Amino acid sequence: MKKFHLYILHSGTLDKFYIGYTSNLIERLRKHNSNHNGFTGKVNDWKIVYWEEFFSKEQAYAREREIKKWKSRDRIKELINKYGSEHPDF
């Protein structure tokens, strides 16, 4: 069964977070760290600092929207500090 991930990236250079979801964390991180147009294309030091696993795309997307609605850097940091770590595959 295919799994989906909600993930939070952090760039040390920008000291910014990026929140997204995907069905392939390794490939998605590679794309974020490649030279491309868009927010994450500005730097290539993004690291996965938090992730959750879901069995449907809809659940992962709903969780992404929930976290983005917080609009709170402190609340995101709290979530990462409580449950997050770098993904073991990276």
- Residue 89: is its pLDDT beyond 90? no
- pLDDT of the residue at 64: 97
Residue 49's contacts (CB-CB under 8 Å, 6 or more residues apart) are 8, 9, 10, 17, 80, 84, 85, 86
pTM score, whole prediction: 0.90
What tens digit of pLDDT does each residue of 8-57 get?
999 999 999 999 999 999 999 999 999 899 999 999 999 999 999 999 99
Residue spans per domain, the chain: 4-83
Q: What percent of the chain has pLDDT over 90?
A: 86
- Count of C-beta atoms within a 10 Å radius of residue 1: 4
Helix spans in the chain (H): 25-32, 57-70, 73-83
Q: Classify 4-83 by CATH class.
A: alpha beta
